[in-house]
Structure 1
């Protein structure tokens, strides 16, 4: 029996043989790649289990040593006051526990460095402790400067050398990565070239077996498949192909009509969604696709993708509920969240519902939100206004009731001051009594200003001369003489009452100076923004505790022993009467910044 030669094989048989050969080649290549993965895994294990932990612990110890060096230098300068040893021990213990909790125990290869660092701590906790217990602060300082510092510098040098050795080891392992990848790339390029060359040869041989009409029909079908629905094929002379060509033309025209209907409907629905003031994010769990309408893109960003969500959730965990809820699989309705933005924080009302298909099966979720920032601010302003009105009414009544008997007391005290001899005035403490009466009068004036502040006499003028006028008065106070002032305000014309503005800046600057205990720097700077002129008053004090920030504009809220708690409230009301705004921009351990926003000339809010 005669064997069938390749020339007599069918087109299907030839294609199957070619596919079998390609499968064999690719399978062989996959075995090589599997072996390469083992090598790369070995290199990766060396880096992650040896090099990286060593780098982490070496960097941690170097940082700890630098901070300990600064700490003991400060201790020597302050003669080891303020529980120096307890704070040193707590700092050492907290740093060690934090690293062990995050990265585990130090590698065995670094046990010698761990012992040296512990020995260094022992020098403080044992030797220096002994000297301080016998009140030998000079001996302790001498021990630290001559013995402890030398040992610390030696350990720092050894740590630096060890870190360089680890870097060299890490670079060696990384070079192995490069060699493995380069070798496999070369192999892949060789196999790819072989496959491409073989495919070209086979394709050429197979194409010769096809007729010209079929090739032409294939080319035109590609045109239709690429999206040019409605494109028709020219009828060939081959009778067998004409029914097929007519059927293809009918199909192409029908696809064109259907596509136009679907596209028009899609555009209409997208326009509806984009016209809504509600941000809508749909997530299809089957395909992993995420779609955003225009309102959602303006908040989240048009480049947002589903794969970005895990990293955003990780960054936002515990501090940014918007992304936490966006990634949540739970369904909820009308949850209020805050979204930090560049200009200001926005408040959104967010909900999440199920996304179902035509069979009512859940295929994903719909996350939608609406901006209620203006509503929240309006409600807050209404609540604040109502509260101030009630408090102001009470304050006005109390102030009037107190002022009348106080005037009598003040009159009698002044009469006694004029008529009594100096000796009796000292016995009765008249100077102190008159001073305290004046202080009560000042408090009453603040209460009356809170109850019914005078309408501002607005005039157009720049703000810098107003601030410059009150600085000499402020500097006369003993507690403000060591304060350095930096004023940088643009000559922007504003509508303001100079007298009331002096009161605002006086209150804010006095608060900053008292927070810094009379020493530090206060910066007053201004910048134009859209529709407003923003003035920032920044100090380098210890900051305002977060628990006090929510109530600091409330009347009578104060942390000062002799404060009335009305300074910020009055300043805020004055800014309200100027159609402006006073708010706390930021506060941390490095300082506090208040912002005053004035409407620019010609822009009345």
Structure 2
């Protein structure tokens, strides 16, 4: 055998294949090793077909020894790659160093023998057949080839037997079929028969077998069983234009080499190698030109409509629903376009419907968030997941400080009339709870709440939880209490008025007769004291009757304009003697402001408070009256403060006949409250402790009455 350029090329390709196989096998990364081996396998098959075809065309006359050697090398490299592929399929696993070297070293030695002419000595093409002359050790090559082939089949059969996954089992069966088609038939027609007969019988069978076997195996393995996902992913990223063009450039030359050229040689007499080369070049040029032209036509017919569909799909993705594609063909592309247009119209209708529903949902959510009902959603551990704005205002904390916390810690530690543990027990056992609770907020202000707890499924968190719905009925309770109090007061006033009227007449007669007896009789000192006590008690009863009648009658106000500071100053002069008896001071800090009110009734209110303060303060005590005006709100605030210690109950001090003094009617503050309320004002206790007692009166500065 002599050295030439073909030997250099194909021996170098064989060397590259061996190096690539070694790098893949001994790489530290075993990830995707089957994909890398399969790609190497496809490259080797392509190299085998290329070497066979090039020699077939360009070496038509004379020696084809390089054809034999390169084909034998590719045969062995292909089977060697398959062997390591089989070992790592479907799950990569480590092959021991001894086992891998026991496969590689004999194969490398056989490759060296091949390229040194030890196994294939000489091959020539004559008129009817290819002649082949082999060396003495050629059967070693055949035996090793068969050994590797059956080793592959054995490994796959063992994996099929132990495989429980039916899909992987089917993949392995397909793999064995591919092995038999591509290697066993090639072994018979490309290796065994030429050695037995001394010439190549049906020489085209070998490359056709490899081509058909690899195409079928790859198509079934990829299309049905997805055996090479990484390779498929890379190919699938190519556009249709590139796929069509690439397919044309690959398959047209192969078809010309493996189909057209053999047919030409069978039916047309070729006198010289140059004629075959000329036919090949013309065919390859014409085939590629036709295939590229057909590719552009196919791209025009298929790719352009698909590009239009893709762009319209992007428009829909940007929210432009309802757009259509102007494709009117009756083929599959046309059907796809009709389906696309129908989908676009449905999306438009669905979008409009969703927008309408979204508007309603937004309206409902706003209504829930701004309603007077406090809503909180908790998980099964009673940790707060969501709240509305009303609940946040009730708790008086920021939303972020509430979410994720236990509702017991956030709210129900300040529950008054219930235990949260009892509520939790009822909720977890009955999945619901309804009751009225009393709860103090962070400022220790009592709230009356209607509490309803319901078990709910929370889709957002994929879990169950509870819905807390709370209605603040504090104001309603107050109104109910005020209404009940008003009804009681009305009944009490009516009864008191009757009693006062019945008492007043005999009381007047008693007082008159007592005065006559005191004046007409000569009384000793003891009798005089007795008559003084009688007169004093009669006067007390008269004042009580007067207060009762004043409380029970309809309040009629006589509005006038007067200076409040001057009015308080006049009152200070009236109570001067009472103040002097305790050496107390009445300090008038009122601003000089003109108000519209019933001066006489307000004087009565001030006298009631001042009398109570004088009784309450210690000697040398102080009573301070000051004011604060709010012109914008048309409110004048009057503060009456004394330094006498007290412990008054605001809920009771304004009730009729309630008094903390040893003597008194208990109607003074009730009448005062009635007078202030008649002026559309309010009166309340601001402070009551050991150091001071402070009341606040708010009345309009200007009234809406005609004066």
Give the Å deviation of 1:302. 7.0
Give the Å deviation of 1:493. 4.5
Look up the match of 2:661.
560
Shifted more, 357-366 versus 429-438: the winner is 357-366
Matched, 1:455 2:550: no
Matched, 1:442 2:543: yes
The alignment partner of 2:377 has SS state of strand
Matched, 1:599 2:700: yes
Residue in structure 2 matching 1:539, options 631, 642, 667: 642
Structure 1 residues 545 and 420, CA gap change in structure 2 (3 angstroms): same
Q: Distance in 2 between matches of 1:237 and 1:572?
A: 94
Structure 1 residues 541 and 251, CA gap change in structure 2 (3 angstroms): farther
Look up the match of 1:578.
679
Q: Distance in 2 between matches of 1:406 and 1:567?
A: 22
Deviations 1:100-156 (A, max 9, x none): xxxxxxxxxxxxxxxxxxxxxxxxxxxxxxxxxxxxxxxxxxxxxxxxxxxxxxxxx
Alignment map for 1:472-491 (pairs within 5 Å): 472-477=573-578, 481-491=582-592
Contact in 2 for aligned 1:347/1:372 (Cα 8 Å): yes
Give the Å deviation of 1:430. 3.0
Matched, 1:306 2:440: no
Q: Distance in 1 between matches of 2:592 and 2:424?
A: 51
Deviations 1:572-605 (A, max 9, x none): 222222222223234333433322221343579x
The alignment partner of 1:593 has SS state of strand
Alignment map for 1:234-383 (pairs within 5 Å): 253=316, 264=359, 266-284=361-379, 290-301=385-396, 303-304=398-399, 305-306=401-402, 313=409, 317-318=413-414, 330=427, 331-337=432-438, 347-357=448-458, 363-383=464-484
Deviations 1:498-517 (A, max 9, x none): 11111112212222332334
Matched, 1:407 2:508: yes
Q: Distance in 2 between matches of 1:473 and 1:321?
A: 50
The alignment partner of 1:281 has SS state of strand
The alignment partner of 1:544 has SS state of coil
The alignment partner of 2:680 has SS state of coil
Structure 1 residues 389 and 303, CA gap change in structure 2 (3 angstroms): same
Give the Å deviation of 1:449. 1.0
Q: Distance in 1 between matches of 2:647 and 2:596?
A: 31
Give the Å deviation of 1:540. 3.4
The alignment partner of 1:429 has SS state of helix
Question: Could you tell me the TM-score, scaled by structure 2's length?
Answer: 0.45
Q: Distance in 2 between matches of 1:482 and 1:310?
A: 59
Question: Could you tell me the TM-score, scaled by structure 1's length?
Answer: 0.52
Structure 1 residues 354 and 495, CA gap change in structure 2 (3 angstroms): farther
Structure 1 residues 355 and 419, CA gap change in structure 2 (3 angstroms): same
Per chain length, whose mean CA-contact separation is higher, i.e. which structure has more relative contact order (CA < 8 Å, sep 6+)?
A: 1
Contact in 2 for aligned 1:480/1:519 (Cα 8 Å): no
The alignment partner of 1:476 has SS state of helix
Look up the match of 2:598.
497
Q: Distance in 2 between matches of 1:410 and 1:510?
A: 26
Q: Distance in 2 between matches of 1:244 and 1:511?
A: 95
Matched, 1:390 2:486: no
Structure 1 residues 500 and 545, CA gap change in structure 2 (3 angstroms): closer
Look up the match of 1:465.
566
Structure 1 residues 475 and 12, CA gap change in structure 2 (3 angstroms): farther
Q: Distance in 2 between matches of 1:300 and 1:322?
A: 18
Give the Å deviation of 1:433. 2.8
Q: Distance in 1 between matches of 2:606 and 2:491?
A: 26
Q: Distance in 2 between matches of 1:288 and 1:429?
A: 76
Give the Å deviation of 1:455. 0.9
Q: Distance in 2 between matches of 1:343 and 1:533?
A: 28
Contact in 2 for aligned 1:425/1:431 (Cα 8 Å): no
Give the Å deviation of 1:323. 12
Shifted more, 336-345 versus 506-515: the winner is 336-345
Q: Distance in 2 between matches of 1:272 and 1:512?
A: 51
Q: Distance in 2 between matches of 1:272 and 1:367?
A: 17
Contact in 2 for aligned 1:584/1:594 (Cα 8 Å): yes
Structure 1 residues 502 and 345, CA gap change in structure 2 (3 angstroms): farther
Contact in 1 for aligned 2:640/2:696 (Cα 8 Å): yes
Give the Å deviation of 1:477. 0.9
Look up the match of 2:66.
none
Q: Distance in 2 between matches of 1:249 and 1:268?
A: 34
Deviations 1:338-390 (A, max 9, x none): 66698987654343323324699972222223343443333223222211122
Contact in 1 for aligned 2:579/2:585 (Cα 8 Å): no
Matched, 1:433 2:534: yes
Query: Where does the alignment leave 5 or more consecutive residues of structure 2 unmatched?
Result: 1-20, 34-233, 245-302, 320-346
Give the Å deviation of 1:494. 3.7
Corresponding residue pairs, total: 384
Contact in 1 for aligned 2:637/2:697 (Cα 8 Å): yes
Deviations 1:292-313 (A, max 9, x none): 3343344335722335856994
Give the Å deviation of 1:286. 8.5
Structure 1 residues 492 and 9, CA gap change in structure 2 (3 angstroms): farther
Q: Distance in 2 between matches of 1:369 and 1:456?
A: 43
Deviations 1:420-463 (A, max 9, x none): 45746854633333233222211221111122154121223343
Which structure has the bigger radius of gyration?
A: 2
Alignment map for 1:180-191 (pairs within 5 Å): none
Query: Where does the alignment leave 5 or more consecutive residues of structure 1 unmatched?
Result: 14-213, 218-234
Matched, 1:550 2:651: yes
